[in-house]
Chain A
Amino acid sequence: MWDAQSMYGVTPQVSSQVLQPTTLPGTDGGDFGSGWRALVNPDNPLFWAGVLILATVGAAGVAGSARLGPARIAAGVGKS
C-alpha cells in the first residue's frame, strides 16, 4: 500500500478515511463478488427476497406483541 501510514507509520487523522469496498476499473460490474458482501448487494435478487421475508416476520412480531400486551397487564393486576 502506498499510503503514509504504511510507509512512514504516521497516523491518519481524517474522518474521511472510512474504508469501503470498491470495484477496480476493468472488472465485471455485474459480479456480486462472494461472501456476505454478495448477500447485501442491492443488485442481488436474494437481497430483496431477504428484505421481504424480514418485513413479513417483523410485522407479525409487532402484531403479536400488541395482542399479548393487555393479557400481561391483566395478569399483573390479578396477582396484586
Chain B
Amino acid sequence: MATQAQSAPLIQGVQSPDVIVNPQLFYAATRRQRYAMRSLTSWSGIGSSDSVQLRQNGIVAGLEVRVKGTLTFGGTIGTTTMGYNWPFNVAKMFRLSANGQSNLISANGLMIRAAEFVDNPKIQDQGRSVSFGGTTGYTDGSLKLANDNWGTGATDNLFPGTNVTTAEAKTFDITYFIPVAAHQVSLIGSVYAQSSATNLNLEIQWATQAEIVSALGASATLAYTSVQYSVTGIVYTIPNVNGNYVIPDLSQFHQVAQFRQSGLGQGTNQILLPGTGVGRNLLRCYWQAFSSSAPLAINDTNYATVGWGYGGNQIPEQYDTGQPLSAMNERLTGVHLGKLWGIGLWDWASENALRDVVDESTTADLRILVGLVSAPTSGYAEVCQETLFAAPVGA
C-alpha cells in the first residue's frame, strides 16, 4: 500500500488548499505543459534588463529562453574583436525569484548552458567547428548546440575572442534551458505556482556593448537590431485524485547562484563559497578563472593544485595539476568543459547524489582550491554553486 503525507497549508511559504504530497500519484496523474510566459518580444536594449512575471499556475520545473536578433557592423571594421561573453553571456545574468526566495537562479548564460550540458547527457557539442580566441577549427568543447546561431553573416561569422573581418549584418539565435528543478524527472526543486499569492519573476540582465565586443574599430559602428527574447515555461498541472490535490515533493528549493571572486594570484587561491549553512546541500560547483578577461583553459599549463575543502585542512578531493580534473570532468559529463571556456567542475550529484552531495551543515568554511601556475593579469574567478535547500513549509 502506498503512503502519503497530507495537508500542507503552506507550500514553499505560500498558502495553499489542502494537498497530498505523493510523488507517485502525482506522476501518474499530472500533465506536462509547455507554454509562453512571454512571447517573442523586443528587448529593452543593450545593457538594460527585462522582467517577466511568470504565470501563477501549476508546478514550474524549467524555463526555456530564446534570444535572437542581428548585430549590424558598419563603417570601417578595423580591429573589432568579440569578447568572451559572446555569445552566451548576451544574457549577462538570469535572476529568478519565487515565493519569497530571491536569486533562486542567479547566473550568466554560459553557466546556465554549462549546467545544461552537465545535467543532460543527451546533448553534445562534438563536430561543430568553431573559432575561439582567434584560433579556428575547434570541434569540441564549445558547448554549442546544433540549433545555436552564434552570429552568421554573408562573409564571416562571430566567435568568442575572435576578430570580426567584415562590416555586415550578422544574425544570431541562442536558446537556454533554465533548470528551476534540480532533477527534471522527480521535479525536486520545482516551484509551486498554483496560487495567487505566489510571486514568480524572471529578470534577464543584458550585457553591455563593452562586454560583448572587447574591441571596436575606431571607425566601426555596431547596431543591435530586431533583438527579441521569449520565455517558455515547463509546467506540470496539479491533479485531483480521489478528491484530493496531489503534489510531488516540494520541500526543497533549487538554487544556481554565481559570484565573482577578484584578486586571483599565482599559487593556490582558496575561494570561500558564500551562503553556506545548515539545511543546504551542495550539488555542484562550477568555476572559471580569467586572465586579461580571457578564460584559462583547464590544463597543466595554467593550473597547479585544484580541489575543494572545508574546515581547517580537510581536502576530500584534489589534483596536483589541471589536466586530470579536465579529464575527470569529461568522463563525468561527456563534454570537454575545460578546453575552451575553461570551466572546472566539482560534481557531487551526477553519479550518486545520495552518496556524494555535500551537507553544508558539516562542512564549515567550504571552499574550492584554484591553483594558478602563473600570475594572471587582472585575475578573477566566476564561481557558480548549485544547491538544494529547505523550502519553508508546514503548519
Q: Measuring CB to CB, which residues of chain A are less than 8 angstroms from any residue of chain B?
A: 1-4, 6-25, 33, 37
Contact = CB atoms under 8 A, between A and B. Distances in A.
Given A22-B22, A25-B29, A7 B183 contact: yes
A47 to B, nearest CB: 18
Query: Which residue among A8, A15, A23, A25 has the maximum number of chain B CB atoms within 10 Å of its CB?
Result: A8
Given A3-B249, A25-B28, A10 B390 contact: yes
A16 B21 contact: yes
Contacts of B28: 25
A63 B252 CA distance: 55
B4 interface: yes
Given A8-B188, A16-B7, A1 B393 contact: no
Contacts of A25: 25, 28-29, 241-242
Contacts of B252: 4, 8, 10
Contact of B20 (A4, A13, A22, A37): A22
A8 B388 contact: yes
20 contacts: A2-B185, A2-B248, A4-B249, A4-B388, A6-B354, A7-B353, A8-B182, A8-B188, A9-B353, A11-B279, A13-B279, A13-B390, A13-B393, A16-B6, A16-B7, A16-B394, A18-B6, A21-B3, A24-B25, A25-B241
Contacts of A33: 1
A2 B252 CA distance: 13
For A3, A6, A19, A21, which residue has the most chain B Cβ atoms within 10 angstroms? A3
Contacts of B393: 13-14, 16
A56 B214 CA distance: 90
Contacts of B4: 19-22
Given A2-B249, A4-B249, A23-B242, A16 B8 contact: yes
A22 B3 contact: yes
Contact of A2 (B186, B241, B242): B186
A18 B24 CA distance: 17
Contacts of B365: none
Contacts, number: 105
B251 interface: yes
Nearest 5 pairs of A and B residues by beta carbon: A16-B8, A2-B186, A3-B249, A15-B394, A2-B23
A75 B51 CA distance: 86
A14 B354 contact: no
Interface residues of B, number: 43
B212 to A, nearest CB: 38
B195 to A, nearest CB: 16
A10 B357 CA distance: 9
B359 interface: yes
Interface string B2-17: 1111111100000000
Contacts of A15: 394-395
Given A14-B394, A19-B4, 15 more contacts: A2-B185, A4-B388, A7-B183, A7-B186, A8-B354, A8-B388, A10-B252, A10-B281, A14-B8, A14-B393, A16-B5, A18-B6, A22-B4, A22-B25, A33-B1
A12 B388 CA distance: 12
Contacts of A13: 251, 279, 390, 393-394
Interface in B218-261: 241-242, 248-249, 251-252
A22 B21 CA distance: 11
A23 B243 CA distance: 12
A12 to B, nearest CB: 6
B6 A4 contact: no
B177 interface: no
B27 interface: yes
Q: Which one of A9, A10, A12, A13 has the greatest number of beta carbons of chain B within 10 Å?
A: A10
Given A2-B185, A9-B281, A15-B394, A21 B21 contact: no
A50 to B, nearest CB: 22
B353 A8 contact: yes
